[in-house]
Amino acid sequence: MGKGAGLSRPPFMSWLRGPRRNELFWAFLFLLPLLWTLGVAFAYAFFRALWWSFCDYDLFASPKFVGLANYAKLFADLHFLKALFHSLSFAVIVTFTQTFLALLLAIALNQKIRGLTFFRAAFYTPSILSSVIVGLIFIWFTYRRGVVNFLLTVARNYHPYFLSFLGLVIVMQSTLVLWGRKRGFPVRAFDPVYLWISLFVGGVGTFFLGHFRLIQPKSMPPVDIIWLETAEKFLGIPRPLWAIMALNIGTTVPTMMLFFLAGLQDVPRELYEVAELDGASWWAKLWYVTIPALRPVMFLVITLGLIGTLQMFDQAAITSGVAPLDSVITLAYYVYWNMFGAGGLPRVGMAAAAAIFLAVLTLVVVLIQRRVGIGEKAW
Amino acid sequence: MKRLILLVVSVVLAFSAFGQEKIIIRIAGHSVDKPVKEALIRDVVAPKLPPNVEVVFEPVVDDYKQWLLTMLAAGTPPDIFYVDVYWAEEVVKTGRVRALDEFLAKSEILKKEDLIPVLVDAFTVDGKLYAISKDFNSLVVFFNKDMFDAKGVPYPSTDDDWFTFWDKVRRVHNPPEWVGICLNPDFARFLPFAFAAGMPFLNPDGTAPFARPEAIAAAEWFSAPIREGFGATAADLGVGWPGAAFVEEKAAVVIEGGWLIPPIREGAPLMKFGTTFLPTFGGRRGNYLFTVGYGMPVDEILPSKRPDLVWKVIELLTSPEAQSYILSIGHAIPSRAALLSHPVLASPADPFQEAMRTVFIATGLPGTVPFSFAPVGSIYHVVVAEALTKIFTGELSPAAAMQEAAKKLNAELKR
């Protein structure tokens, strides 16, 4: 190594003095608000919570290092184990159902039908309402004499009408389609013109069946399901949690549907044209073109769904005023409950340990989903 | 010469006014109190303070306890804050709330003897008083006189015991027009009866008392209207709380506190209703005392740095004048014992004032305990509420539910 080699090396931190100095300065300046927010609201808060999760701390006395004792205590706490079970079952059931329904809805709203914009706006409404308001309305709906039980009572008492209407429509539609095909027309199973005729015949037929008392409403006692104020379980999951699942699905599906709708716009039209040339049916196009093309969106929807459901807090908090704590407690609510709800001074150590556990659990569940479930590549 | 003196005096006065430091005393309370507290500060408190002192009411819309704990932990509390008897001990244990005995001993306006004794006990922790009760409430029986008259049933009275009371409620039950009683599976209604039956807060060995025969008997009695069908929960009647069922004349009887008076005044001003004490068991009566007091932080974190002035404001807020004002507008039932001779309470003119009088007297009866779960915490009532829910929905018998509650609380107490 001669002197020359030493001379050719750029001086230490030369970029700070070079022509790019200005550029870097401005870049940092513009990034500063975001970096500051990230630093304070995320990094600082995260590391502080991580440190507290190893401490016995109540916000007032100085934190006392206790090692992994808080984590050990978590797993000995029945409320935590219940919260863990509830969060995991909530995440799996809600994510699966909402993804499926959002996809169905997106495909339906991607058709060229009349009043499409109205339907898109109407279906999206639940997502723009405050979850607290929706939660409160939901509580009213699920009273013992509330709307949900009323509709179930109506459905139970008037089921002969629904069944006869449905039966008449199916019989009429099948007859029309078979008749059409017999005459050599390429009639589809849900041909719109035939469907209107079938619906009309179904309606008129049911009216006359009712009029001549061939079918009658049942007079069964009102449906008396207690949705929230109960500790009863269905399939091992508390009934109030099922109710919250229904609420959560109803309010999240529209947002997820928007993602799918956006994804559907991006599926290349040529693929459908090629499939049509090959004589692919509607189902074949859906199964072999649409769904594979939507895989990146589906990955996003499932990942956001898992994160959102594992961290679900507000709906549990609102319904906990009505439903027993053990029936609606989730991990995120458990964190809050330890901090402010359990009485006594805040159990910051336990709350922080549960929060860190929840963060790690969310990460692991998302990674497992990515590895064994739906990945982010289309084909 | 005169002009010169006048000029000098005005200049001196002007400068001294500028020289006086402005002191702001911040009071933080529930947002619903804002109009009343602001009027009280303007009409009663401010005129008696030096001109450089300004008192500001800051409404808190959030969960108040959560807000206060974080403010105390951060060392940024207001000068005066509300202390609810429900969590008074927890907040005092932070070591950031100042004991008021020293001020009280010196005060000319406020003496310990002026306050209703149970209200002093409510905010006394380890022999020291940490808050001055501003107002209070306790439970009484509200009954609709028209419904009792229509069914020819005598009104509930102070002589009723548990069984004569249920008998009257059963006889006034008149479905589908109205139910005998609207009753929720509410621990705050049930526990006073369980205490009256002889159930202690905890067993002498520190375990849960819910499996004791008296607790089970109380649960059986309390849930009878729902199990035997002469009562209904608020949700069953399609209302948010039992008080609404009473106002909407869907229930003949409810067990509520003075907070039901304003909704009746607004929603059913012409209703003929009466109030009486909770029924007895073996001559004993139980009740809960709900109260909120004014507290102040320790000197190190007192924002105004003027404890004397802060105390002065607390004195004025709880002065006879201020409390008469609160009573006369029917906002709440104030904490001074002497107010029983106030016209509103001494000779009530309408059912509303009568109800206030019943609540006032009920609070002072033996058996009334502060609405507090220290040292166990809210898990105590969480397990009771769950047991009551299971009894009300028929999932478990009263005995089985109470035994399960005892088991659950014991598991928590061992932690």
Chain B touched by A379 (CB under 8 Å):
no
Q: Which 8-state DSSP code applies to residue B127?
A: T
For residue B146, the model assigns a pLDDT of 96
Is B132 in contact with B100 (CB distance < 8 Å)?
Answer: yes
Model confidence at A1: pLDDT above 50: no
Distance from CA of A341 to the nearest CA of B (A): 7
For residue A4, the model assigns a pLDDT of 45
Place of tokens 């008259």: B149
Identify the residue among A149, A340, A348 best suited for mutation to test binding to B, counting B beta carbons within 10 A and taking the highest: A340
Q: What is the pLDDT of residues A232-241, one digit of tens each?
A: 888 989 988 9
* Shortest CA distance from B240: residue in chain A: A140
Q: What is the pLDDT of residues B57-88, one digit of tens each?
A: 999 987 898 899 999 999 999 999 999 999 99
Half-sphere exposure of residue A280: CA atoms within 13 angstroms, side-chain side:
17
Residues 337-356 in A contacting B (C-alpha not used; CB under 8 Å): 340-346
Identify the residue among B76, B179, B248, B389 best suited for mutation to test binding to A, counting A beta carbons within 10 A and taking the highest: B389
Place of tokens 């589809």: A188
The answer to whether the Cβ–Cβ distance between B411 and A341 falls below 8 Å is no
Query: Following DSSP, what letter does each residue of A3-33 receive, concatenated?
Result: HHHHHHSPPTTHHHHSTTHHHHHHHHHHHHH
Between B144 and B330, name the one with better pLDDT: B144
For residue A16, the model assigns a pLDDT of 61
Query: Following DSSP, what letter does each residue of B154-221 receive, concatenated?
Result: PPP-TT-BHHHHHHHHHHH-BTTTBEEEE----HHHHHHHHHHTT--SS-TTSS--TTSHHHHHHHHH
pLDDT band at B290 (very low <50, low <70, confident <90, very high): very high
Where do you find CATH 3.40.190.10 in chain B?
A: 24-136+290-346
Model confidence at B8: pLDDT above 70: no
| Mean pLDDT across chain B | 89
For residue A143, the model assigns a pLDDT of 79
Q: What is the pLDDT of residues A286-325, one digit of tens each?
A: 888 888 888 889 999 999 999 999 998 888 888 877 788 8
Query: CATH for A71-129+237-372, among 1.10.3720.10, 3.10.520.10, 1.20.1250.20, 1.10.10.10?
Result: 1.10.3720.10
* pTM to 2 decimal places: 0.78
Percent of chain A with pLDDT over 70: 93
Chain B interface, Cβ < 8 Å to A: 63, 65-66, 69-70, 72-73, 87, 90, 93-96, 185, 233, 235-238, 373-380, 382, 385-386, 389-390, 392-393, 395, 411, 415
| Mean pLDDT, residues B90-102 | 92
For residue A3, the model assigns a pLDDT of 45
The answer to whether the Cβ–Cβ distance between B380 and A143 falls below 8 Å is no
Is B298 in contact with B95 (CB distance < 8 Å)?
Answer: yes
pLDDT band at A5 (very low <50, low <70, confident <90, very high): very low
As separate numbers, helices (DSSP H) first and strands (DSSP E) second, chain B gives: 18, 14
Cα distances (angstroms) measured from residue B115 to each of B70, B103, B122, B123, B334? 30, 15, 11, 12, 10
User: Which residues of A fall within a CB distance of 8 Å from B237?
Assistant: 145
Q: Which amino acid is at A251?
A: T
Model confidence at B38: pLDDT above 70: yes
Tell me which residue in A145, A231, A345 faces B390 most closely, judged by beta carbons.
A231
Between B6 and A140, name the one with better pLDDT: A140
| Radius of gyration in angstroms for the set of CA atoms belonging to chain A, rounded to a whole number | 29
The answer to whether the Cβ–Cβ distance between B378 and A343 falls below 8 Å is yes
For residue A225, the model assigns a pLDDT of 80
Is B385 in contact with B307 (CB distance < 8 Å)?
Answer: no
The answer to whether the Cβ–Cβ distance between B96 and A343 falls below 8 Å is no
What gap in Å lies between CA A362 and CA A306, rounded to an integer? Answer: 8
For residue B1, the model assigns a pLDDT of 54
The answer to whether the Cβ–Cβ distance between B238 and A146 falls below 8 Å is yes
Q: What is the pLDDT of residues A61-70, one digit of tens each?
A: 888 999 899 9
pLDDT band at B379 (very low <50, low <70, confident <90, very high): confident
Distance from CA of B155 to the nearest CA of A (A): 30
For residue A8, the model assigns a pLDDT of 61
Sign of the dihedral defined by the CA atoms of residues B24, B25, B30, B32, in that order: negative
For residue B293, the model assigns a pLDDT of 93
Place of tokens 């109540």: A58
User: Which residues of B fall within a CB distance of 8 Å from A230?
Assistant: 389-390, 393, 395
* Shortest CA distance from A61: residue in chain B: B94
Is B112 in contact with B74 (CB distance < 8 Å)?
Answer: no
Model confidence at B337: pLDDT above 70: yes
Is B309 in contact with B23 (CB distance < 8 Å)?
Answer: yes
* Shortest CA distance from A229: residue in chain B: B389
Closest by alpha carbon to B401, among B231, B215, B227?
Answer: B215
CATH superfamily of B24-136+290-346: Periplasmic binding protein-like II (3.40.190.10)
Tell me which residue in A230, A232, A342 faces B378 most closely, judged by beta carbons.
A342
What gap in Å lies between CA B315 and CA B100, rounded to an integer? Answer: 11
Distance from CA of A141 to the nearest CA of B (A): 10
Closest by alpha carbon to A325, among B394, B409, B234?
Answer: B409
| Mean pLDDT, residues B386-399 | 91
Tell me which residue in B63, B238, B395 faces A340 most closely, judged by beta carbons.
B63
For residue A18, the model assigns a pLDDT of 64
Between A117 and B288, name the one with better pLDDT: B288
Model confidence at B125: pLDDT above 80: yes
Is B359 in contact with B140 (CB distance < 8 Å)?
Answer: yes
| Mean pLDDT across chain A | 85
For residue A15, the model assigns a pLDDT of 58
Q: DSSP alpha helices (H): ranges in A59-191?
A: 69-76, 78-109, 116-128, 131-141, 147-157, 159-182
| Mean pLDDT, residues B348-374 | 89
Cα distances (angstroms) measured from residue B23 to each of A268, B29, B307? 70, 20, 12
The size of the A-B interface in CB pairs under 8 A is 75
Q: What number of other Cβ atoms are within 10 A of residue B364's Cβ?
A: 16
Q: Angle, to 10 degrees, between the axis of helix B379-392 and the axis of helix B187-196?
A: 100
| Radius of gyration in angstroms for the set of CA atoms belonging to chain B, rounded to a whole number | 24
Q: What is the pLDDT of residues A269-280, one digit of tens each?
A: 888 888 888 888
Distance from CA of B191 to the nearest CA of A (A): 17
User: Which residues of A fall within a CB distance of 8 Å from B391?
Assistant: none
The answer to whether the Cβ–Cβ distance between B72 and A229 falls below 8 Å is no
Percent of chain A with pLDDT over 90: 32
| Mean pLDDT, residues B202-206 | 94
Model confidence at A132: pLDDT above 50: yes
Sign of the dihedral defined by the CA atoms of residues A249, A255, A261, A264, in that order: negative
Q: Which two tokens stand for residue B40?
A: 């009280």
Model confidence at A36: pLDDT above 90: yes
Find all residues with CB under 8 Å of B276, minimum gap 6, and list them: B140, B141, B143, B155, B156, B157, B158, B160, B358
Q: What ipTM was assigned to the predicted interfaces of this complex?
A: 0.75
Is B199 in contact with B151 (CB distance < 8 Å)?
Answer: no
Residues 116-145 in A contacting B (C-alpha not used; CB under 8 Å): 143-145
The answer to whether the Cβ–Cβ distance between A144 and B233 falls below 8 Å is yes
The answer to whether the Cβ–Cβ distance between B238 and A346 falls below 8 Å is no
